[in-house]
Amino acid sequence: MPLAEFYQQVKNFDFGELDYESVGIWPLPIRLFLLALVFALVIAATYYFHIKELDAELDVVKGKELQLKKTFEEKAFQAANLERYRMQMVEVEKLFGAMLAQLPSDTEVPGLLEDITEIGSGSSLDITTISLQPERAAEFYVELPIKIVAVGDYHDVGAFVSGVASLPRIVTLHNYSLTANEKGGLLGLEIEARTYRYKTQDD
């Protein structure tokens, strides 16, 4: 059918006269138009219900792909720097060993008390009391508190604190108090020294 004739039939057709019970005898141009319309609706429905769902799944897969790429890059970086990490671990283990060496064992505590007493004497500080307090366990170590009561002038106290800080073992000072003493111009010092030991399975 020539295109001009097809166009003329569609133009002259009165759509108000269509009888939906006799679709089979509708003019050919109208039937072709209806077929094209149904086909377009089918395509649109297919896209909406199926292809759109596939697009959503594709977006999810793309997101997973990006995450996998990121994970791969991190693993590749770690693999490339594995030797350096091993060297750092060796250094950390050496440092940890050196720190452990500064933590006194139970048998070294009396020697530590003697060292603190000698520092007090060398600082002209009169230590009246030095006593071990109950241990306090933390997650990886055990605190060994030592209560110290002494008398001396301001410079003696400063020299004592400096001497304790220079001990080869780890000793920290806490909860100090200074009070005026009856002996002319002297100060009463109360302070808690804490040393530490590594927590063993027995603790």
pLDDT cut 70: percent of the chain above it: 77
pLDDT, one tens digit per residue, over 127-168 is 999 999 998 888 778 888 999 999 988 899 999 999 998 888
Per-residue confidence (pLDDT) for residue 193, from 0 to 100: 92
Across 182-202, average pLDDT: 80
Specify whether the CB–CB gap between 137 and 202 falls below 8 A: no
Specify whether the CB–CB gap between 126 and 152 falls below 8 A: yes
Residue 69 parent element (H or E): helix 52-80
* E strands present in the chain: 126-132, 136-137, 141-152, 171-180, 187-198
Asked whether the predicted pLDDT for residue 1 surpasses 70, the reply is no
CATH 3.30.70.60 fits 104-198, yes or no: yes
Q: At what angle do helices 154-165 and 109-122 cross, to 10 degrees?
A: 140
- Distance from C-alpha of 153 to C-alpha of 125, rounded to nearest angstrom: 8
* E strands present in 43-140: 126-132, 136-137
In the chain, domain spans = 1-80, 104-198
pLDDT, one tens digit per residue, over 13-41 is 555 555 555 656 666 666 777 788 888 88
pLDDT, one tens digit per residue, over 45-81 is 877 777 777 778 888 888 888 898 988 888 888 888 8
Across 96-105, average pLDDT: 69
Asked whether the predicted pLDDT for residue 186 surpasses 80, the reply is yes
Asked whether the predicted pLDDT for residue 2 surpasses 60, the reply is no
Q: Global pTM?
A: 0.50
> pLDDT tier at 100 (50, 70, 90 boundaries)?
low
The DSSP output letter for 122 is: H
Specify whether the CB–CB gap between 107 and 201 falls below 8 A: no
Backbone region of residue 185 per phi and psi (left: phi > 0; alpha: psi in -120 to 50; beta: other values): left
Specify whether the CB–CB gap between 118 and 182 falls below 8 A: no
